[in-house]
Amino acid sequence: MPGGADTLRESLTGDVLTPADHEYEKARLCFNLLVDRRPAVIARCVDAGDVATALAFAQSEGLEIAVRGGGHNPAGHCAVDDGLVIDLTRMRNVEVDPEARVARSQGGTTWLDFDAATQQHGLVTPGGVVGSTGVTGLTLGGGIGHLTAQHGLTCDNLIGAEVVTPAGEVVRAGEDGDPELLWGMRGGGGNFGVVTRAEYRLHPVKRIVGGRFDYEGEAVRDALRAFRDADAEAGEEISLQCQLSSKENLTPTLVVTPCYTGPNSDTEELRALRAAPGLVNDGVREQTFLDQQLIFDPGYGVDRNYWKGHFVTGLPDELIDILVDSLAALGRPAGAILIESLRGGPKDVDPASAALGYREAAFNISVMADWTDPALDEESIAWARSTAAAIEPWSVSGGYANYMQADEPLERVRAAFGRDNFARLRALKSRYDPDNVLRRNQNIPPAQT
């Protein structure tokens, strides 16, 4: 592409980075250090026109395209060796219409940007639990977080979008545009175009009862049972998720993060979790929703990660024992196991309104190997794979596209939608991206290939 970057630079309102630019090294970095790629050019777009220009430039130069929002995807889909990155990190504006209870966010917005803007009006949409994650990227795969029980998946609250197709056309997804495209974007990932603006339904939420309960030691098994039982009994005013891990000396630990939005701060579920064995820290109290969104704040681009998991029908005692025992399998802390409840909101929605197919599941369980030394790559990846394999007997609806690595076979991607929805997604893909230009994602091949 000799000299090509200069041509792009001239036609873009945003800026263009190549390996010669000092900001390049930071801009190419993925959340997951296991993925280390060197794009030929990074186009930092500022509007839909820039995105169309970058798409056209990449195709005319024969460059493979990656799309970058928050850079969090564990598969590292936001970076491509020798290709072009459509970087949306300069497109992070959020407009809130408090009367209509609608937010419009640009394609590179993060949850920190989004929540800060909507909370000024005491409003919220259910999102992810880490502030630096991209809003659009998370939405396109579903979206599970602190308000899932109350308000459903993030994609259930997506009501419209402006999308730039690989052909450079600006189209509208939604009831006032293409409803089929909106259906596909609810779970089908970044397969159909680059989303430059997305619109979300908002809900009133300001103060919540949340924070974290920390448990330690062998009693963690019983604490996890208490979490499961509390979740089974809970209503839709409380969302629950938890994370198993271990200390340096391999003592198991559990963090439970409730988020309660009802009027009674002393609920039965919170009492049960407070009384569960192994509690070493009770950090659950009334706080702002913005404080709740700061519970988890991992560093960006500091660890190597390999994630694999399953949606499951339940959390029987046998599975709990398998999960807790797996924490010590490597003789060193191996990472974490995230358990997210899908009770409530996701099940209140008409399943036909979205492409994704995992609403029936009780929980999403993700094994998250996490390490820093490249020499540990092989055994860490093997740990995530073997622990996920042990969960498989309870699996339903495949795995969560948002947490998948790039090595997932097509069957697993298909299973996340079901056969009929996958065929419908392939038909949609062939309408919007017949040449599979946007393939750096959990890919849906166009129908004719």
Ligand X SMILES: Cc1cc2nc3c(=O)[nH]c(=O)nc-3n(C[C@H](O)[C@H](O)[C@H](O)COP(=O)(O)OP(=O)(O)OC[C@H]3O[C@@H](n4cnc5c(N)ncnc54)[C@H](O)[C@@H]3O)c2cc1C
* Residue ranges in contact with ligand X by CB under 6 A: 31, 66-74, 77-78, 88, 107, 128-130, 133-134, 136-138, 140-145, 189-190, 194-195, 298, 402-403, 440-441
Percent helix / strand / coil, the chain, rounded to 5: 30, 25, 45
* Residue 279 amino acid letter: L
CB of 441 to ligand X, least distance (A): 4
Which pairing describes strands 65-68 and 84-87: parallel, antiparallel, or unpaired?
parallel
CB of 105 to ligand X, least distance (A): 10
CB of 166 to ligand X, least distance (A): 11
Q: Of 130 and 425, which CB lies nearer to ligand X in the complex structure? A: 130
Within 10 angstroms of residue 81's Cβ, the number of other Cβ atoms is 12
Whole-angstrom Cα distance, residue 62 to residue 72?
26
Tracing tokens 């509007």 back to the chain, one arrives at 47
Q: Of 68 and 221, which CB lies nearer to ligand X in the complex structure? A: 68
Q: Of 40 and 144, which CB lies nearer to ligand X in the complex structure? A: 144
CB of 108 to ligand X, least distance (A): 7
Query: Collapsing DSSP states into helix, strand and coil, what is residue 374?
Result: helix
Whole-angstrom Cα distance, residue 68 to residue 9?
18
CB of 222 to ligand X, least distance (A): 26
CB of 127 to ligand X, least distance (A): 7
Whole-angstrom Cα distance, residue 223 to residue 213?
10
Within 10 angstroms of residue 438's Cβ, the number of other Cβ atoms is 25
Q: Of 261 and 292, which CB lies nearer to ligand X in the complex structure? A: 292
Give the helix ranges, DSSP H, for 199-252.
220-233
CB of 136 to ligand X, least distance (A): 4
Is 171 in contact with 182 (CB distance < 8 Å)?
A: no
Q: Of 18 and 132, which CB lies nearer to ligand X in the complex structure? A: 132
Q: Which two tokens stand for residue 99?
A: 């009367």
CB of 70 to ligand X, least distance (A): 3
CB of 317 to ligand X, least distance (A): 27
| Cα dihedral 258, 261, 267, 269 sign | negative
CB-based contacts of 19, cutoff 8 Å, min separation 6: 38
Q: Of 232 and 302, which CB lies nearer to ligand X in the complex structure? A: 302
CB of 315 to ligand X, least distance (A): 19
* Residue 14 amino acid letter: G
288 - beta bridge partners? 207
- Which of 337, 338, 340, 307 lies closest to 325 in space, CA to CA? 337
- Which of 43, 98, 46 lies closest to 67 in space, CA to CA? 43
Q: Of 72 and 221, which CB lies nearer to ligand X in the complex structure? A: 72
CB-based contacts of 343, cutoff 8 Å, min separation 6: 149, 231, 234, 236, 240, 362
Give the helix ranges, DSSP H, for 39-165.
48-61, 111-119, 135-141, 148-151
Q: Of 269 and 340, which CB lies nearer to ligand X in the complex structure? A: 340
Instruction: Output DSSP code: residue 448.
Output: T
Is 42 in contact with 23 (CB distance < 8 Å)?
A: no
Q: Of 276 and 307, which CB lies nearer to ligand X in the complex structure? A: 307
Q: Of 239 and 441, which CB lies nearer to ligand X in the complex structure? A: 441
Is 19 in contact with 82 (CB distance < 8 Å)?
A: no
CB of 135 to ligand X, least distance (A): 8
What element of type H or E holds 103?
Answer: strand 102-106
Q: Of 87 and 269, which CB lies nearer to ligand X in the complex structure? A: 87
CB of 339 to ligand X, least distance (A): 12
What element of type H or E holds 311?
Answer: strand 304-312
Q: Of 234 and 368, which CB lies nearer to ligand X in the complex structure? A: 368
